[in-house]
Structure 1
């Protein structure tokens, strides 16, 4: 038995090898040993002790099927094997699951659940009817298992950080006990009226949000600005004033809004036809505009990878994505995620009609990617407790693995609507689908063990930008530019733009920001399912410029691409995780969603820019 509660901290600068019974020494006399390789470039077998762990491809992808008809691609995983072999399992880190509650009595969760000052709610276990379908509140339980299910107990699988502790907050369940996201965050951080010290073992250092919104009206942020700003303010407090200033990090799912509709074109083969609200099969939604929470700097927004190492067919993308994490497809033609499920749920209060799933191999969505990243974050934090949330974020960015390296730019005729991988002015590769890439736990942990605090104090600078009188947006691919000259030196960690404009068909617009280093970040790609006729203080975030210098000219560029005169569909091959060649077919706009082209030029009415950095 491993006494995981005896030690909760990793003393600065050295590792306390908790779990040595499961350690594996690498034999440097072996013929395969190469001293020029980094430790994270080797593959170590995961220790036994959990019967389902060898189907958990997100932990170690060996090409297993996880119950699907087709395998994944070996190596597409979190690369955490050496970290676990070192005995780093998330000790001393609490992960808050803000969701529909979690089954605190699950045999693979109960040992890690901590009450703290906030009671952990049990989910409502009885089947109920909502939004036209029968539902069961098992989402938070599946999420929690990905992040921190127990290890070495001969039950089920294991979490990414199996010695981290868990706190649940029921925000979206049938019997929710917190009325808002801001209050849920306050509860898991033990904030009261004044800011609490928030340094206890039971206060979250990782706040998982496998939740979100999908809005087609870009004025929604301004309409509910107080609501969204309150969430941002609470997250800022958690990030800057908790755990002795080291802070808590908020992880958020990007959204599952890549397409506007879909159908099986060949279910047996696993061919899925996806429908898009534009003529070029460009994604239906953008992370920042569809969900203002993704444009919040205090969130780390994560997209979803399938087991083949490409973007899962449903996953949203955009410049607000920071990293990618494994989530899978649907579990039939291609692997989904193996995790905990409700140990019991019943259709009746008398509990005469009950099911006992306990585990599932069908969890997916960016809801699954978020806890994978939350667990990874907990591992890095537990390797070196000195590191701040920004230090950990920095390590994940600078060690991430570039996936889908041969991906191609997405085009509207000759116009590059969404670039492929681009190297920014700081030498970091970025992609709107994947951010800086797939989190690489072993590489980040190795660096965490060799360093102390990394980044100096955070600076935030905001500027209103004066627009010229000639700010019309013409319907001819010509660029409407507005320039802000930044005189203060700052190393960038994130850039926000607050945008105001008028236009009769917003889905035609491409909004770009070009840095002094000539890095072009697409803040909003053309062809989205936007409705209305204006942007009103609409918030857009780009992580693309991380590490660049802010000093110099920043150009906001708006282009009317005329992308929406027809819709399109495209065939996605689920087993391979790729789109079929030459499968784009144009469709007429759906009658109830028809948008005629603008009859007048649009107009940029104002914008501001905010820099986060050091």
Structure 2
């Protein structure tokens, strides 16, 4: 039987970046003319030694308001008007070290969640949302998505639309409703704009949506990684048989043109068997990735020994996850090791914290009796979620933060940024699935098939997104079909070796090799792509 084998090798190339231009420094503008600043009819005066503040104020038509608590030579003094204060601050003053006009500045408290399930201990002994910020260092290796520093810079995903392509998104859930976009949501099962769960089995997408985009700092439940993003629900009828056309439509939905309505789409699902040829979805992904929408895929929970046969433990066996320019996400547990279930492969982009055998992910749950009801007193939430189904929306939410600060972000750009900003984890990994452990490619980037470029770091990613303006234009080359017409030797570790040449001086970001092999036992066939420098 002819089988379709697909292998993807990713290599991030720093040379592909176009550096953003730095703005030149300007002199501070007077408070009276700065947008968002309310100039006050008062000045702050730092007096020279020996100068009486009372005499100074009276002789200049000012009145004392208060001294600085931190130093006795500095006083806040009232002027007759805002204009007088501005004029006085601009006039040289021989008896003062400095003078400036006081003002009310547009300052607010940094964004921080006040949601009760975010912090550990609610309910009693609960782990909290450790995957977002591991304040108690659960697991002992400080595993989390490094979101806190980004949130402290008020990077919350505001203005970015995240779409959850899944079995449902409950539009009236109290922690999803504030971010829910009813105009752009859609249900392929019922043909309407309400993606809420209907069947008893549905609710997976409600969990996924909470990880990415639950409303944070509203005093209830949980927060998502992108707590102020806009949430779009795209319901696909998984439990009644979903036609390929529906998946293709969901991939293309609201994602065409140079300025698509949906900026990031999450796919926490995949094929249940390997080597499914799905040309319609693949073609849709190629088209949409060439535009702007970023697609994030869960790598899969198929690692051998995790309660399944491991048919898709190599994520390269899933056609939709081998399309260049998208993000494929593996899972890491809190013990600094890949999660026991997490699929691996050369197409893995990044890893993100998710569940282990002893600790789950806390997120939104289907309301009422149809949910997991795993948290006492918080029946609309669960701490039993996990898998790469949770790791993927965590990355989706973080990419929404990066999109907020860098509107030019697309899939290729995001992949470059992830390559230079992610954290190396489990540095001693030498498992067979790692295919040699952490290795540095010719672009100077470390990669491991279990973790991709490393664990997501929201702080570093969002900072990098502001330093770069984009990537160089994409060029592609095709070797065409190379026919071998040769038998695969049995029990021969050397196997068949064929060399092909790509005639380009441009650094290679990604390579896709499609193999058509006839063999009676596909599980006994292995295929490797080796670079000229020996990187396999």
Task: Give the TM-score normalised by the residue count of structure 2.
Answer: 0.72
Match of 2:504 among 488, 496, 504: 488
Counterpart-to-counterpart distance in 2, 1:184 and 1:424: 35
Alignment-derived partner of residue 337 in structure 1: 361
Alignment correspondent of 2:417: 395
Picking from 173, 192, 199, the partner of 2:259 is 199
Q: Residue in 1 aligned with 2:156?
A: 89
Structure 1: distance between partners of 2:423 and 2:530: 25
1:209 aligns with 2:267: yes
- Counterpart for residue 236 of structure 1: 286
Cα distance in 1, alignment partners of residues 385 and 107 from structure 2? 31
* 1:373 Cα deviation from its structure 2 partner: 0.6
* Whole-Å separation in 2 of the counterparts to 1:20 and 1:255: 44
Pairwise CA distance, 1:97 = 0.3
Is the CA contact (8 Å cut-off) linking 2:116 and 2:221 kept in structure 1? yes
**Matching residue within 42, 54, 62 for 2:135:** 62
> What's the CA shift for 1:238?
2.2
Of 174, 181, 193, which aligns to 1:107? 174
Write the mapping of 1:482-521 to structure 2, written as runs, cut at 5 A: 482-520=498-536
Q: Match of 2:250?
A: 184
* Correspondence 1:443-462 to 2 at 5 A: 443-453=460-470, 455-462=471-478
1:158 aligns with 2:215: no
Distance 1:103 1:336 in 2: 21
Tell me, yes or no, if the aligned pair for 2:206 and 2:366 is still in contact at 8 Å.
yes
Counterpart contact for 1:13–1:384, Cα < 8 Å: no
* 1:300 corresponds to 2:324: no
**Residue in structure 2 matching 1:434, options 441, 445, 451:** 451
Deviations 1:264-286 (A, max 9, x none): xxxxxxxxxxx768xxxxx8731
Question: Following TM superposition, by how much is the alpha carbon of 1:303 offset from its aligned partner in structure 2, in angstroms?
Answer: 0.7
Deviates more, 1:79-88 or 1:478-487: 478-487
- Asked if the contact 2:147/2:458 (under 8 Å) is kept, the reply is yes
The alpha-carbon deviation at position 48 of structure 1 amounts to 4.3
Q: Which residue of 2 aligns with 1:524?
A: none
Contact 1:343 1:356 in 2 (8 A): no
Structure 1 residues 359, 424: closer, same or farther in 2, change over 3 A?
Answer: same
SS state of the match for residue 417, structure 2? helix
Q: How many Å separate the matches in 1 of 2:144 and 2:321?
A: 24
1:108-127 correspondence runs (5 A)? 108-119=175-186, 120-125=193-198, 127=200
User: CA contact under 8 A between 2:113 and 2:223: conserved in structure 1?
Assistant: no
- Paired residues in the alignment total 417
Counterparts of 1:176 and 1:93, CA distance in 2: 31
User: In the alignment, which residue of structure 1 is the partner of 2:303?
Assistant: 258
Which residue matches 2:234? 169
Deviation at 1:387, TM superposition (A): 3.2
Do the aligned partners of residues 261 and 238 (structure 1) sit closer, same or farther apart at CA in structure 2, a change above 3 Å counting? closer
SS at match of 2:300: coil
What's the CA shift for 1:125?
4.3
Aligned mates of 2:332, 2:431 — CA distance in 1: 18
The structure 1 residue matched to 2:435, chosen from 398, 410, 418, is 418
What RMSD in Å do the two structures reach over aligned CA positions?
A: 2.9
How far apart are the structure 1 equivalents of 2:117 and 2:486?
63
> What is the TM-score when the length of structure 1 is the normalising length?
0.63
User: 1:63 & 1:206 partners in 2: Cα distance?
Assistant: 31
Please say if residues 13 and 451 of structure 1, whose CA atoms lie closer than 8 Å, have aligned partners that are also in contact: no
Cα distance in structure 1, aligned partners of 2:250 and 2:369: 25
Residues 313-366 of structure 1 show CA distances to partners (whole Å, capped at 9, x for unaligned) of: 111111111111111124xxx22111000122459xxxxxxx982110011011
> How many Å apart are 1:156 and its aligned residue?
1.0
Q: CA deviation at 1:470?
A: 5.7
Please give the per-residue CA displacement for 1:538-590, whole angstroms capped at 9, x wherever unaligned.
xxxxxxxxxxxxxxxxxxxxxxxxxxxxxxxxxxxxxxxxxxxxxxxxxxxxx
State the Cα distance separating 1:74 from its structure 2 match: 4.4
Deviation for aligned residue 1:150: 0.6
The 1:305/1:470 distance shift into structure 2, 3 A limit, reads same
Pairwise CA distance, 1:295: 1.8
Report the structure, 1 or 2, having the larger strand content. 1
**1:501 CA drift (Å):** 2.3
Distance 1:117 1:149, change over 3 A: closer
Deviates more, 1:417-426 or 1:398-407: 417-426
C-alpha displacement of 1:138:
1.0
